[in-house]
Amino acid sequence: MSPIKRVTLGQGGSEHDAADASISALVGRRFIGKVAVVTGAGSGIGQAVALRLAAEGASVAALDIAEEGLGSTVEQITAAGGRGTAITCDVTSEESVIAAVAATVEALGPPTVVCNVAGIGGFFNTVDMPLERWEKILAVNLTGTFLVCKATLPHLLEHGGCIVNVASNTALMGQAYSAAYCASKAGVLMFSKALAAEYLSRGVRVNVIAPGGVDTPLVGAFQLPEGGDFNELKKVMSPLGFATPAEMAGSVAFLASDESSYTTGAVLSVDGGLTI
């Protein structure tokens, strides 16, 4: 029986602390001497990934568009004896991404681990969905992932390395009111497989995790649209409930580590059985 207990949505606090404590007993030292770039590192899963990689010895460049969260991430890394630097970055801007990667190299050295976690979403009736929201969701989730991979790949090709992209169970199954989100995440999945094929023989692995429901602030952005029916969403609710961000970080860390050295182009579903 796993020591990690399910959590009550939106409560955070001691339930998350208990899960984190269970997981910390399993943490290794797989990233000593490595530099990792983590996007979306100011909140939720990205923050947990940054903390996990740092706890395992990585020097972490924590990238996010939101500065406040980044400060907390780097404070927590430093307090735990790790090394991290906060870099404000909008992943939808190629200029901003290039500057962030240059700042990473200057502060920590060339990255060899890249985790694309930044993402946004929301529920919409497709007929009412503003074009700008469609474009924004694709820009952050899909184009942002492309831009960060493009800017970091030269370092990964030079030194060897790996990329872990965060998709979603919605890359594998339809979710009502989520056309843009599903399309963006399916795009992340096939973009990652394409990269894995392109760099298969050149020392760069590219893998994906596909989380189900994780208790993060993002969940609050998914409010039923006008006339929406909650029953349509039951199939994307795992009977196991919601996961904690740290549970996702464990799977990301595995795929980012040399323990998964024979794994590339893979999709690891971490979704409480939604896609069984």
Ligand X SMILES: NC(=O)c1ccc[n+]([C@@H]2O[C@H](COP(=O)([O-])OP(=O)(O)OC[C@H]3O[C@@H](n4cnc5c(N)ncnc54)[C@H](O)[C@@H]3O)[C@@H](O)[C@H]2O)c1
Chain contacts with ligand X (rule: CB under 6 A): 39-40, 42-46, 64-66, 69, 89-92, 117-121, 140-141, 144, 166, 168, 211, 213-214, 216-219
C-beta of 36 vs 45, nearer to ligand X? 45
Distances (CA, A) of 189 to 28, 79, 178, 208: 28, 35, 16, 7
Q: What is the distance between the alpha carbons of residues 207 and 195, in angstroms, rounded to a whole number?
A: 9
C-beta of 44 vs 187, nearer to ligand X? 44
Smallest separation, CB 203 to ligand X (Å) = 26
Smallest separation, CB 144 to ligand X (Å) = 6
Q: What is the distance between the alpha carbons of residues 42 and 211, in angstroms, rounded to a whole number?
A: 18
Distances (CA, A) of 228 to 128, 181, 239: 12, 16, 22
Smallest separation, CB 48 to ligand X (Å) = 8
Helix, strand, or coil here: 163?
strand
Based on the residue annotation, tell me whether 181 is a catalytic residue of this protein: yes
Return the number of other C-beta atoms located less than 10 Å from residue 154's C-beta: 11
C-beta of 134 vs 159, nearer to ligand X? 134
**Amino acid code (one letter) for 239:** P
C-beta of 156 vs 249, nearer to ligand X? 249
> Contact 107/84 with Cβ under 8 angstroms?
no
Helix, strand, or coil here: 131?
helix
> Contact 225/121 with Cβ under 8 angstroms?
no
15 Cβ contact partners less than 8 Å away, ≥ 6 residues apart: 5, 7, 8, 244
220 Cβ contact partners less than 8 Å away, ≥ 6 residues apart: 10
Smallest separation, CB 141 to ligand X (Å) = 6
H-run or E-run covering 133:
helix 131-138
Smallest separation, CB 32 to ligand X (Å) = 26
Catalytic residue among 177, 181, 199, 262: 181
Angle 123-124-128 (CA atoms, 0-180°, nearest 5)?
A: 170
C-beta of 110 vs 241, nearer to ligand X? 241
C-beta of 59 vs 168, nearer to ligand X? 168
Residues classed as catalytic: 181
